Structure 1
Amino acid sequence: MPRICLHAIVSGRVQGVGFRQHTDEQAQRLELDGWVRNLADGRVEVLIEGEEAAVRELADWLAQGPQVAQVTGVALSEQPLQGVVGFIVRS
């Protein structure tokens, strides 16, 4: 299966609820590469790279997030492969 890269901006109550840590756990489980970070405006930014099915699964998960989050929107855009290795939580 081909590798793809998606960039996501997640809106809603997504900071202060463990969103980055839960995203990291999901990405590790799915063996994805990339990163997640908080934005100054209260949104969360995510770059996901890996097997297409796994990337799409994490993208679907972002629309729900962890139980305490309240996601109101996810803006997704396909990107060229970045060559990222591993998944990290950025501050």
Structure 2
Amino acid sequence: MAPQNWHCDLNEETDSYEFLDYSSLKESPFLNSLGNYLRRSDVDESIVQRILLDMSLGHTSHQTVLDKNRVYYEKMVKFCLASK
């Protein structure tokens, strides 16, 4: 997992990290990738299964995936990126 720090030298150390392509969609390969990563990191299989189950059951109360503001700003960002 990569650090959440914009002032790091991540671009110079990408070989030190494994990046998982996150998506809030249940059909995404994220859960499979996460499970594989956790197993390679020697996390107990019962814990891996619990994490994957909990994540596949739905969203938390603080989700933003369907929030109208998030949807609006995501469209704006995509539009701006496409305009470049």
Q: Output the TM-score relative to the length of structure 2.
A: 0.31
Tell me which structure has the larger Cα radius of gyration.
Answer: 2
Q: Where is the helix percentage greater, Structure 1 or Structure 2?
A: 2
Q: Where is the strand percentage greater, Structure 1 or Structure 2?
A: 1
Structure having greater relative contact order (Cα 8 Å, sep ≥ 6): 1
